[in-house]
Structure 1
Amino acid sequence: MDLSVVIVNYQTFELTKNTVNSIFEYDYPFSYEIIVVDNASADDSLSKLQDYFKDKVKFIASSENRGFAAGNNQALNVANGRYVLLLNSDTIVWENTLENIYDYMEKHSDVGATGCRVLLENGELDKACKRSFPNVKNSFFRLFHIPTKSEDDNYNLDKLPDGEVYEIDCLTGAFMFIRKEALDEVGFLDETFFMYGEDIDLCYRIKKAGWKIIYYGKSKITHLKGASSKKQKSKLIYEFYRAMYVYYKKHHSHESFFITNIVVYFGIFVLCVLKLFLNLFKKKS
């Protein structure tokens, strides 16, 4: 098997169906399988997906929802592909995207993972698709919306062209085309992360092991992200900031002064509480 496509479903029948269909819409010069993991959906989305796709898709039914990372790992444990594509259930794959990136990976054996240009529903770039690794300095500028002219502090790599191909630090978990050999070396997703931060952590480990991370801006997907103005579930806000804490503690706390760590942890806590408070006043949509 050349490619294993892994999709985690959680009560998103229509979105997941459309994502899978966007793959089936085209022919490919390689063999592939699609594995859908249902994270203990409380609705009937799993049974509906099984009825709709029948034996065209492999399904794994989780008995409990242990998060996005854990859901993906269940599929990675049984994936047969030389490459693995981690793909969000709210994405649409464009024509030639998988073929182009597969071909690029075949020609560049030093690349551990490749991402593509990820577009939001309104056509704008999802900035998470090409990033630097977060650190204390660039996170400070980003979280407090402080402009900086320093490339070292540019977390979102805004000045790099969207439609080109080049090496970066970090991809988005919405689309990660990964060499299985690299995964076997560094390990699967860290299940300490529930649904944020696991992509950054995995990219960090892949690069640390000596593999390249590539942004392939010549190919695209659409990511149907919820608008930032919508009211969010409190758990999602909490998990977002908890992921910051987990990532920093895992990769950076040992190289920082004690007082720096205290300031970072306190800052994450304050931002989380503030975001939860402000979210109470947002209207549902």
Structure 2
Amino acid sequence: MNCPMNLSIITVTWNNEKQLERQLKSVVSGCKNLEFEQIVVDNASADKTVEIVKTMSNVKVIVNTENKGFSHANNQGVEISSGEYLLFLNPDMKVEEGSLDVIVDWLEKRKDVGIVSPRLVDENGKLNEDAKPRRLPRVWEQVALILKLPHIFPKMMDKYLMKDFDGDKEQEVDSVRGSFMLMRREVVEKLGFAFDPRYYIWYEDVDICREVTKMGLKVMYSPVITAVDYVGQSFKAQESMWKQKNFTRSMLTYFQKWEAWYKWMWIWLARPIGILLVYLKNKNCLFIIDFFVILITIVFVFRYNNLFFWTIDGLAVLGSIIFFLVSIHTFSKKRKILSVVLIFASLISLLVSLWSGYQSRDTKFQIIDLKISKENEYYVYKYKLKSDGVRTIPKFEIAFCPDLPIDYVGINNEQDIRYSEELICSNGNYGGKRFVNFEPRDVEIIVRTKNIIDGYYISPMK
């Protein structure tokens, strides 16, 4: 090779004192015949990461006082590098002895390849599912991720996560993971960067793979070597809200760059919902809100039967499901069981509400008692009614002979009346009264008139 330096290994660190030394030593053993350099860019670590790097010989280090993100730090490393090939290697990686010689030689022989990544395994030697290549993300899949839907329907992500991937087969792929990414320098020279600086963290690896494909080069997976990927050790210390905000921000940036507005707008709309769900989960508010929604529903669902409370029932179901989605991977076993119970309770409440509404459409009434008395010049009729409805009837009407003048129609439990209106007959006489939203079971309707009533009807209103 004409270039004095074959390979530049660039590693971005943030509080990686426990993993970094192992990685740096493995890189040395991984390069037997290569001219190589190691560059570490530290993003304002608060632990002893920088101290460990400075104890290692022949390692260049850039110490940032501010964490400006993964993309920015990698680009800083590229600026001081001199290798013909660039290896972006996470601090929680471990490469095998002599393996970097092999994969650099592999890339040198394939001029049509811009990026290659090897077989990444876990510490037990098994193919690491979280570090496999992935297909390019689609909008609906990413919206589902934001809303935690794959926790309930895991197979919906199978295509995106390449569940059919054969780790023993060399193949061209849409994207490889940024934890081990070997790149030709000409890619950086054409683009002006290794990773688009608009990405703080996440999606920068998918983006560069798409850029490489756009310039006519291939993105390849090759099991020619194996490396151990311990996956995201730094991020385990980060708060879930920080992760959600940065993950969804980068997701939105990616789709705004590569897709039309009518696609990325769905990410923009779903993002605040995802952040809110994480906030409620962190504050333990989601459980409290959902619990009271269910409690209110159970209380009112057996008292009222109309569209408003059917809607409340539906929201209770939705709230329970959201609570379950958020809690499934974070809460204790008891809380998960409780979330399932809440879902079933709200579903039962909704079904009972709808069923009783269906049953009540043909509700019949019967007079179980009639008392007639005389008060001065008035006849007072007290009708005691009973309905065969399952629960309450939203609208109820009592009317009398159209030509019969009636002085007053009332109901004994006035506190249950939500709305009433007079029924005026075509001839101008008072024909009765319509009552809305009250319980018609075992109620007493009082009619006062100077005439003898010889005709009436009582029925639920449609």
Q: For residue 79 of structure 2, what is the aligned residue in structure 1? A: 77
Over 3 Å counting, the alpha-carbon distance change for 1:97 and 1:277 in structure 2 is farther
Per-residue deviation, residues 100-155 of structure 1 (Å, max 9, x unmatched): 221211110010000112223453513343011112244356663246699xx711
Q: Please list, as runs of the form range in 1=range in 2, the aligned pairs for 1:1-285 lying within 5 A after superposition.
A: 1-50=5-54, 52-54=55-57, 56-121=58-123, 123-139=126-142, 144-145=149-150, 146=153, 154-188=159-193, 189-225=195-231, 232-233=238-239, 234-252=241-259, 254=260, 256-257=261-262, 260-278=263-281, 282=330
CA contact (8 A) 1:111 1:211 kept: yes
SS of the residue corresponding to residue 121 of structure 2 reads strand
Tell me by how many angstroms 1:57 deviates: 0.8
CA contact (8 A) 1:3 1:31 kept: yes
Worse overlay, 109-118 or 153-162: 153-162
* Matched AA of 2:28: F
State the distance in 2 between where 1:277 and 1:95 align: 47
* Matched AA of 1:13: E
SS of the residue corresponding to residue 18 of structure 2 reads helix
Over 3 Å counting, the alpha-carbon distance change for 1:177 and 1:277 in structure 2 is farther
Tell me by how many angstroms 1:53 deviates: 0.5
CA contact (8 A) 1:96 1:219 kept: no
Tell me which protein shows more strand as a share of its residues: 2
Over 3 Å counting, the alpha-carbon distance change for 1:178 and 1:26 in structure 2 is closer
Tell me by how many angstroms 1:2 deviates: 0.7
State the distance in 2 between where 1:134 and 1:210 align: 20
Unaligned stretches of 5+ in structure 1?
none
State the distance in 2 between where 1:157 and 1:134 align: 11
Per-residue deviation, residues 220-269 of structure 1 (Å, max 9, x unmatched): 22122258xx67412123211111111111111x3x53xx4433311233
Tell me by how many angstroms 1:48 deviates: 2.9
SS of the residue corresponding to residue 13 of structure 1 reads coil
TM-score with structure 2 setting the length: 0.55
Q: For residue 292 of structure 2, what is the aligned residue in structure 1? A: none
CA contact (8 A) 2:30 2:100 kept: no
Worse overlay, 268-277 or 137-146: 137-146
Per-residue deviation, residues 40-96 of structure 1 (Å, max 9, x unmatched): 22233212320x213x21111123211111111111011101100001011111234
Worse overlay, 197-206 or 26-35: 26-35
Tell me by how many angstroms 1:218 deviates: 3.5
State the distance in 2 between where 1:18 and 1:70 align: 24
Over 3 Å counting, the alpha-carbon distance change for 1:26 and 1:219 in structure 2 is closer
Unaligned stretches of 5+ in structure 2?
285-329, 332-462
Over 3 Å counting, the alpha-carbon distance change for 1:144 and 1:7 in structure 2 is same
* Matched AA of 2:52: K
CA contact (8 A) 2:20 2:49 kept: no
CA contact (8 A) 2:128 2:229 kept: no
Tell me by how many angstroms 1:172 deviates: 0.8
Q: For residue 457 of structure 2, what is the aligned residue in structure 1? A: none
Tell me by how many angstroms 1:170 deviates: 0.6
* Matched AA of 1:64: E
SS of the residue corresponding to residue 56 of structure 2 reads helix
State the distance in 1 between where 2:16 and 2:282 align: 23
RMSD: 2.6
Aligned length, in residue pairs: 274
SS of the residue corresponding to residue 8 of structure 1 reads strand
SS of the residue corresponding to residue 193 of structure 1 reads coil
SS of the residue corresponding to residue 14 of structure 1 reads coil
Over 3 Å counting, the alpha-carbon distance change for 1:160 and 1:124 in structure 2 is closer
Tell me by how many angstroms 1:178 deviates: 0.3
State the distance in 1 between where 2:279 and 2:185 align: 38
